[in-house]
Every structure is written in C-alpha cells, then in structure tokens.
Structure 1
Amino acid sequence: MALTLPPLSLYIHIPWCVQKCPYCDFNSHATHKNSSQTVGNTIPESTYIACLLDDLKQDLHYVQGRKIHSIFFGGGTPSLFSAKGIQQILSGVQSLVELKDNCEITLEANPGTVETEKLASFIQAGINRFSIGVQSLQAEKLQKLGRIHNANEAINAANLAQQLPINSFNLDLMHGLPDQSLQDALYDLNTALDQSPPHLSWYQLTIEPNTLFGSKPPILPEDDALWAIQEQGHQLLTTNGYQQYEISAYAKPGHQCQHNLNYWRFGDYLGIGCGAHGKITLANEKRIIRTEKVKHPTGYMDLAKDYLFESNEISQDDLAFNYFINRCRLMEAIPHDEFSAYTGLVIDDVSEFINQATSKGFIDSHNQHWQVTPLGHRYLNELLEMLI
C-alpha cells in the first residue's frame, strides 16, 4: 500500500547544560567541564549554529515539499544560548525551508537560567512557547535531583511566562521521586497549578542505565504509593480543567503541544544537532527511515566529518510496533485510515494484535478507529509486548 507524507516537524538539539542531572540519559554535556570545545566555561555558540544550519541543508531532500509544522529546541538547556543565537538559528531555518502559518516554536528553559529580559528577548527572536523544567517545587527534592534552581526561581519563571505575549507555556513536573510521599507529590502539583500553566507535563521518574541514578539507585516510592500519586494527581488535574491527551501530558483546551502531537501521531521530524534523532517518510521509495546525528559536540563540529551518525530503515516487520508504540500513548482514537496511510500496512496486518488486545480489554475496536482503554494505558508495556 502507498505511503502518505505526514506533517513534518523540526527538532533542534542544544547539548549543553550547567551540570548533568543524576537521572538524565539525554545527550547533554556540562559546561563546567573543560574540553577542547569549551573555553572559560563558555559555549561555542556561533560555531555550533553554523553547523546546525549546515546540518539542515544536508537534510533538505527529506522535506519533500512540506512546510515545517513545529519547531522544538531541546537539550541540554537551550536557554543557555543567547536570544541573538536563537534568532540566527530561526532566521537560517526560514531561509532554507518554509514554516506553516502559526508554526509552534518551543524552547526548553531551566528556571535557573532565565529572567524577564532574556525570556522577552527569546520571544522577539521568534519563540512562541516555553517548556520550563521545574521537576519539583521542594528544596530537598530539587537537591536530590541535582537541579540548579530553587522553588522560588521555578515559580518566578512560571509567573514571567504567564505575563509574556506567547501562545502557551509548559511546566515540566516529575513524580515518584526519591522518598516522595503522596502529600509531597500533591503539594508539588498544587503549587504548579497555582501558576496556571496552559500545559503541564507530569511524568514519573524512571531510573535509566548510564546515569548516576542507574549506578547508585535512590529509594523510590513503592508501586502502591506510585499508583495513589497517579490516581489522585490525575483527579486533581482534571478537576482544575486540564485534559489528559497523552500518558504524561495535560493541557487546558487548545493548548496541547503540537510538536508532541505530531511525534506521537507518527508524524515526520528532522533532527539537527549532536545526537538528534529524526524520522522520515520516503513516500516515493515506500520506506520509512530513522536518522541519528553524531553524538558528541566535538565530533559534530568537526567539519571534516559528516553530521549523520547512522540511518536505518524501519523494516516491514517492525512498522506496526513503531506506529503503535507512539500512537498508544495518546488518549485520542487511532483512525484506521491514518494507520494505513502512515505505515503502508493494511488492517489485516494487525488483526491478531487487535484481537488479542481487545480480548484483554486493552483496546476497543470500532468500524473506523481503535481506542486504547484506560486499562490499556495502565498496562501499556504489556499491550505493546503483544506486537513483539
């Protein structure tokens, strides 16, 4: 079956941060460490920007006539860059590829690295949405998470975002933290809600390999406590007018993150910057590929080498899994037509999976769509294992 080109987003990775958090497994590099690319605790901003735009130029054949649906600056801590640098990146992007009207442009920001003037400058540079990494609003928890900001700085950053002329902003909040009680978690959530963020990412801390927490795991809440936190937290969010549209994302009506929606709907995205990942549909060739750029800033900015680390085609056997591992995180229905258009598969290709998932109460099957049930979202890993 033919493939349809989905919307195309752009992810821009800024790899530097002030210090590495013990739970973080993202491709990030602390600026306080000496290296050949950091001098006097500074970031090689202009060199990196030139490489980003050159990286994008090399990926332009993946655009295939589409406009950019959304842009997301992730990291690391993108707010360490100057507003002038962000503007240079966005101007360079727009000189190479067209943006759709009202393109959502998000910048991740650490509360410890922003102030009124800098946030306003980012908006003048073209940013229309901020994602502020709060994680917790209690001093003890922030210290255990290795965060460089305090609770007051987090609240101030949210207040600033509330007052600025932007489309939306997100607060990133974690639960299931070391030694966190139900009362602790609900305090964080209530304090975050007092700031009236249009969007709130509320997700459970997981211990990842190759992190400090991975080598020295902290004591986390028991499963029963985690479930109580999730259940009561969800009730608190919905009572306050937030709609859960993804496993770990809540928003006021009209404020869902468009970049994340495109990602979870199996849309395409270009990934530029060191370690950035991309997913691209090549409709004429009837195949879908995933790309990954060189991981370390030193190697990425070595102009004698290619930015691309590797490119792999998603095999026919893995297409359904790749689609559903994304799509099943969303609360919305999964249209049959979209599944076929974005994967090239037909309904019969997944009939065994759907029948098994339906029999367990994980999915409701309808004439034109599938719907993951609350039980399916609770046992999402078990649901997806049926495709392996």
Structure 2
Amino acid sequence: MIAATVASAEEFVFSTPSDDRWFYPFNFNPGRRPVASCFGTAGMPGFNDRDGTVIIAWSTSSLIAPGQGPDAYDVTSIRLTMTNVPGAEWAIDLTPDAWYTFDLNQDGFINGDGIPRGEEGDTDGESDDEDPGRPIEVFGVGFGPVRDYATWIETSGYIGSDSTTDRPRDPYPFVYQDGTGERLHCEDNVKGLHNEALGVTQFTPAPWAIGVPIGYVPGEQTTPFAIEFTIDLSASDGRVRRYVQEQLDGGRLFFYVTSLADTTMGGGQNEFPTVYMKESTDEGARPGELIVELGGGIPCDDVRKLTGRCRNGTLKSKVVFQDESHDGRQVTVKVDGTPHVLDVSGRRARLRLRNQSGSHEVCLTDPDCGLCRDVECS
C-alpha cells in the first residue's frame, strides 16, 4: 500500500472488482451471474428507463491508502474496461442521445409523425436520433434512502421498478445538477421521474464517460472485445473528480454502467451490450478493470494565467485555471527561488507575502509552464 499523494504520475491497476452486479429486477442470482446485459425500456410504465444495468465497485485500499482525506488524492485519470461477449450485433454510438429520441408514447415508432419535437404539427413529442444505436454510459452511484456506500454489496436486495410500480433505484445512477450540485437520478430520465423536488422532469444527462468498443465489428464479432471508458474528471465543475477523491478516501470506487439500447420481443443478448462479470469462466472472459492515475501535475493547457503585483509592501500572486476541475490540488510558486506550495480553491491558487520591498521574480514551477512575472515592491 502507498500513501495517497505521489510525487510523479503513477498508475494503479485493479484487475478484479470487489463487487459487480447485474442490477435488474429479474436477476434471481444477484452477484453470481457470469454476464450482465445493459439495455433500456425507455418510457415504459412499471420499468425503469435504464432497466438492465451494472453496478461495479473496486476495493482500492490494497494499493491506495484510504482515510487520508479527499484532498490528499491527486487524481489525474480514471479508466474502466469492460469486456463484451462474442457475437455482438449492436450498433456503435459514441454520443449521448436526447430523451425525446425515444418512443415516448409507446406506439412502436420513434417520431412516428416525422416532425421534430416542438415543430409545427408535432403530435408525439419525439425526434429522430441523428445516429444509429445507443451509447453505453457511465454515471456515479448514489445511495439512499435504504442502501448506503459503506454496507452495500453485490448480493444486496434489489430496489427499483419491478414491472408493476415506478420506483427509484437504490443505489441509483446520477449526475450533478448544474448550478446546485445536487444529485439527479438518471434511471428514469426519459419518463422524467424522481427529481421533482429539484424542479427537473425529463432531461438528457451528460454521462461521465461513454464506452468505446475496441476492435469491434457488429455482426461479425467472433471473439470477446474490450469496451473502454475514460471518466471526465472535469465534468460538473470538478465535482466528478471530487466524487472519485471521496470514494478513494473511503476505500471503494463505484460506477454505474448503463445503456438505453432498444430491445425487441424475443431478441437475444447480442442485440445490446453484454459484458462479463468476475464470475465468468468463459474463454476470453475478463472482469471489469479499473486504472487509477495519481499525481503527475496539472496540464499547462489548464492554466489560464499567472498574476503578480505589489501594494503597500504586500506581494500578491494568483494562478488562474480554465475551470474548477483542479479544485483541491496544489501548485508551487517560487518567489526569488523560494518555493511556496499553494492550495487550489475553485479556479484559483493565491499567494500573499507581507513586508516585501525591491524587485522580485515570481514563477509558477509546478506545473512548470514557463510562466514568470517581475514584481516591484516599494
């Protein structure tokens, strides 16, 4: 086990999850199935829109020390890999699909009237999807009111819609609401349920990652293939990165893998993403893999500017970033060669030195982006 903070970029590979669960109302062998399918029943009463889903978690404490406080985890990259079974036929889609590109009125057609949503003559509130297929999306895992982060395991009982009643899932997939930072349920984003208290009904969530199939040829795939996800840590003004930091501090990192892939009566598992769980013994089967990268500094492209000025003998300097994705990290500013380690708060890291006089050189050295300022103090 190593400490949370590392001096340079280092990868930690977790090749087997601690928990992987096909979270589906008719999974009668929870936590023990060799494969799990991801599909949707968008708009259908009694079923969650995101019906066949995967909750996956890795125990990270064997390699990354927990309990150091979230700010101690300098997370620079999170990547997941799932492996799909052979024989897949589903179309590749690498972009999110708007909620109104589904069969909202359950007439068996998407945009049956042929008129985009909201345009004159629209009768069904639907629009055509611009590209074939449905993406495989990753979201955060929210808990409550019954389940919680500390005690949920892959064999915990199912909570959610059960074909007769619309119910929120617990655990549930979520994204952060713009502005408030509150967690929005995503399991029924097409029907628009479970977020009424936040003033949200139907909406299109921005996934934390979209799965990219590697070497996959639909309809001609005779071998298993990888689906790779890279988590957007900068999403929601850095709140996704904070989620990861908090979970590394707790010792388990959770993600929700979903798809709103359409299903057909009598169709098989090759019509939608179907991935191996850790219980599979099939040839070529691989459980979900997590790669965590810590350290390695902040990219210079993310640094907007370095400022420096002096007033009444107080030298002030700021490092300003493009967004808040580096909140909680640290940078180093040298004044005349003396280093000062600064905490990033939001989009800024601030330095203030009193009782200064004469000429000074202020340089940002970590990250080393070649930024310096000459400051005169009278």
TM-score, reference length from structure 2: 0.28
Higher strand share: 2
Higher helix share: 1
TM-score, reference length from structure 1: 0.28
Higher-RCO chain (CA-CA 8 Å, sequence separation at least 6) = 2
Greater radius of gyration (CA): 2
